[in-house]
Structure 1
């Protein structure tokens, strides 16, 4: 959804009569930031990384081992997640340990995975 599409959400022309009024929407900046987060989470490897980080911080080699992908690929995906504000890294000696910025991000991914596991709906 583009920001101009979000503007359309503020109107009431599409609300059938007798329905509840539309909920108030966050600001355009908030909607844009939410879109950035969702785009950052839109790759299967990044979803898997978030699932790995939901319970504990991990370093790159632990993610490589857990996900079975190469170190350069993990590092590339971590850069995307970091630039979107999804993860943060903290150096400890030679290792950088990554963790989720907050629990909301894990909930988004867990809910999306649970929904996908339910399969198609009629």
Structure 2
């Protein structure tokens, strides 16, 4: 299968990028090409993370390991690679990778949402 992946070059160019925000939060992107597999048909390994000012990871989008969907879900006992962690304690929930451009857009949208939520709690 040939994968048409918009934004792939942009994602790969961000590999190793770390950006520190003025509010103390920071994000890191790691992404590289791999041989496509059944579990990773798009052939992209990625790890996009957001860290708080204390350097704790509080958000992550990755496919570094598989997660098992809980039995109470409609897709119970299914194993997926692409997933996200919405808190530091979150074991992971499925993420549907479609393109690198959408992955980055989803990540940065969630970054803003998480920080706004956390900063709103601190006020």
Q: Compare the two structures and name the one with the higher strand fraction.
A: 2
Superposition TM-score, scaled by structure 2 size: 0.26
Rg larger for: 1
Superposition TM-score, scaled by structure 1 size: 0.26
